[in-house]
Amino acid sequence: MLRLLIDVNVNVNYSLSDWRPRLSGFEPRDSDYADRVRESFDRQRIMALIGAQLVRLEPGECEIQLPFKPELSQQHGYYHGGIIGTIADSAGGYAAFTLMPRDASVLTVEYKMNLLAPGDGELLIARGRVLKAGRTLVVAQVDAGVVKDGRETLCATLLQTLMTMHGRPDQ
């Protein structure tokens, strides 16, 4: 009898600082995508309310950061899961929006988020990237991490479907 022993050790405290998977083939349909995305982000009042900042944009990618403040926490003092979901949703949405035509806007159809560790840190970072960009539907993945004492820990991952709303410019 053959015995197979599989040792599975999952450590969610790995660093996300080198997270930059490159998916080839993504070309923005609008050469001014960065300005269009930043203008849309600036109109999202929830981002201003919580203090989120859009810090990086590339075709098919977006990074949003959110410094900690007690008003964003749950009863244990960690970032609230709803706050993590809020910036993760926007990071994936804006990653998708970078690839959409000028006369379109973006709308989340659904997402599934797994919380992997407490959001315990002084900075929350959500990094969204497009996995598949179709004519109408876009699938994106977002990893969210918290930075505490200079160390980044993965706290959530999200898989998201977004809709390109053709003929409805984002305004």
Which residues, in sequence order, are CB contacts of 117 under 8 Å at separation 6+?
Answer: 12, 13, 146, 153, 154, 155
Question: 140-168, pLDDT tens digit by residue?
Answer: 999 999 999 999 999 999 999 999 999 99
CATH of 33-166, one of 2.30.130.60, 1.10.10.10, 3.10.129.10, 3.50.50.60: 3.10.129.10
Mean pLDDT of 81-93: 98
pLDDT at 57 over 60: yes
In this prediction, residues 104-111 reach a mean pLDDT of 97
Q: What's the pLDDT score for residue 25?
A: 65
Q: Give the bridge partners for 131, in sequence order.
A: none
Q: Do the Cβ atoms of 138 and 105 come closer than 8 Å?
A: no
For residue 39, what are the CA distances in angstroms to 22, 43, 51?
A: 25, 6, 16
> Which residues neighbour 88 within 8 Å (Cβ) at sequence distance 6 or greater?
111, 113, 126, 128, 142, 144, 156, 158
Averaged confidence pLDDT in the chain:
89
Query: Which segment of 30-34, 82-86, 120-124 scores lowest on mean pLDDT?
Result: 30-34
Q: Give the Cα separation of 17 and 137 in Å (integer).
A: 29
What is the per-residue pLDDT for 124? Answer: 98
The CA distance from 171 to 160, in Å, is: 23
CB atoms within 10 A of CB 147: 18
What mean pLDDT do residues 107-131 have?
98
pLDDT at 138 over 60: yes
CA distance 127 to 157: 10
